[in-house]
Structure 1
Amino acid sequence: MAIAQATIVPLGTGSTSVSKYVAGCHQILKDEKRIKYELTPMATVFEGDLDVVLEVIRKMHEIPFKNGAERVLTTINIDDRRDKEASMSQKLNSVKEKLD
């Protein structure tokens, strides 16, 4: 299972505010049952099959264009660990254990 983070930034919108574009991207996720995701202040984190995660990010990448952006910059980080099962919560718990 892959864990990925994506930041989708619309450019050429005439405004520094991007929240309406983020909300539009997250409309894609409302009905998406094949992956887990979490919106953070700076990005969205995904957990699931890598092919599905990339498919969803691709759909989200198109939304700012549909909403008037002239250019879209999407940055993706992928943690694809195959030696053992990984999850968003497992990664957080591993760090928390070391803090105690």
Structure 2
Amino acid sequence: MAIVEVTIIPLGTASPSVSQYVAGCHKVLKQVTDLKYQLTPMSTIIEGDLGRILEVVRQMHETPYQEGAQRVSTTIRIDDRRDKELTMAGKIKAVEDKVSLA
């Protein structure tokens, strides 16, 4: 299982606001039932099978074009751990456990 951070930035738009484009990308995620995701103020975190995540990220990348963007810049950061199950909640808990020991 992988955790992927994705940031999709439309360029060449009439406004500096990108929330409508982010909403469009999240409509793609809402249709997906086999992945978990979390919207953050600066990106979206997706958890699940890496191949499936990359398929969905491709769909998300195309969304701003459908809404009139002339250019799209997508940044992807992948955490793919194979020696044990990796989850968003598990990563957070590992840090919180260490904070409580300090």
User: Could you say which TM-score interval applies, normalised by the shorter chain?
Assistant: over 0.9
Could you say which residue in structure 1 is the equivalent of 2:87?
87
Distance in 2 (CA, whole Å) between partners of 1:44 and 1:6 is: 5
**SS of alignment partner, residue 75 of structure 1:** strand
Offset at 1:34?
A: 1.0
TM-score of the superposed pair, with normalisation by structure 2:
0.96
Offset at 1:70?
A: 0.3
Note the 1:12-91 alignment, pairs <5 A: 12-91=12-91
Could you say which residue in structure 2 is the equivalent of 1:98?
98
Offset at 1:30?
A: 1.3
Gaps of 5+ in 2: none
RMSD over aligned Cα, in angstroms?
A: 0.5
Offset at 1:26?
A: 0.6
Offset at 1:15?
A: 1.1
Gaps of 5+ in 1: none
Residue identity matched to 1:26: H
Identity of paired residues, percent? 59
Residue identity matched to 1:66: Q
Count of matched residue pairs: 100
**SS of alignment partner, residue 85 of structure 1:** coil
Distance in 2 (CA, whole Å) between partners of 1:58 and 1:37 is: 15
TM-score of the superposed pair, with normalisation by structure 1:
0.98
Offset at 1:57?
A: 0.4
Distance in 1 (CA, whole Å) between partners of 2:31 and 2:4 is: 19
